[in-house]
Structure 1
Amino acid sequence: MSLTFELDPAVDRTLHDGLVALWTDVSNAGGSVGFVPPVTADDVRPEVVKHLSAMAEGRCRLLVGYDEEGAVAATAFLTLNTHRLMRHWLWLYTVMVAPGHQGKGYGRDLMAAAAGAARGIDGIEAIRLTCRGGTGVDRFYASCGYKEVGRVPDAIRVAPGDDRDDIIMLLPLHQY
């Protein structure tokens, strides 16, 4: 079974709660999405509100993957650049697949859906993302066509004595 993707879904309590639950579960499973486990829904909720506010202001767009039961199973936020010299590319943030759905190809489906969504936005020529070194997720993004274009050593402090590289990756969207 595959996910059903929706770009810019209507935000209601069910979606809000689904985002909070997904972000909490992914964080507690060790996903590098801005937190270090353990986290609670109360820890995550302000970040969800911040992302949804940016969406309401038109600064970002939300891509949600729903599983066969209609639950939020995957997400990515496509954040538009406001600087006039950088409006031709966007950021991809908070890329998540529910831990119970990992290993089913949903991450690859999510990345393809995000690229498709970005191609549908006028003037967007590339997607840029960052990821935490030491997790192996950079290999996954590379397998989806992203290229490492930069690295900031020890930029992410996960814990005292545990600093990770901030890896910058880019996916050009033009077709040859």
Structure 2
Amino acid sequence: MLDVLKTRRSIRKYTDEMPRDEDLERIVEAGLYAPTGMGRQGVKFVVVKNKEMRDHLSKLNAGVMGSDKDPFYGAPVVIVVLSKKEYPTYIYDGSLAIGNMLNEAHGLGLGSCWIHRAKEVFEGEEGRRLLKEWGIEEDYEGIGNVIIGFADGKAPEASPRLDHRVITIE
């Protein structure tokens, strides 16, 4: 596990090859098993493999940051992570799920990256319409997007860890 944690990096260039369904299921399962406040399990996952929908989400996300570039870096799969806002730990719950998913993707030999702006996308009119279309009518907030695919090139090296970040009280 520690090797996965030490070697996982955000990937920002992907091939067109679609990951296997079994691998995507394992990645989502890793998210499902992330800790949640008081075990409430208020996190939902929308796995987008459909290219038309993936491209639509890309345009919405790019629009939030005022860009016309693909913020999903060509990754063929986007997993939207949403958390139920009524739970006080909803942001942390969704964040832990994303962390688990990024690490599981790397362990399976896939590239991944956490892409922000899901909150803004799903607060907008089109985002709310999509949630309704997907059958999500409760009050959920977009926590992030996990892009998944095969890296096009080598992963970057880890930066050296900064000193003086651990304090031990005995």
> What range is the shorter-chain TM-score in?
0.3 to 0.5
**Structure showing greater relative contact order (alpha-carbon pairs closer than 8 Å, 6 or more residues apart):** 2
In the superposition, the TM-score normalised over structure 2's length comes to 0.32
Whose Rg is larger? 2
Query: Which of the two has greater strand per residue?
Result: 1
Task: Give the TM-score normalised by structure 1.
Answer: 0.32
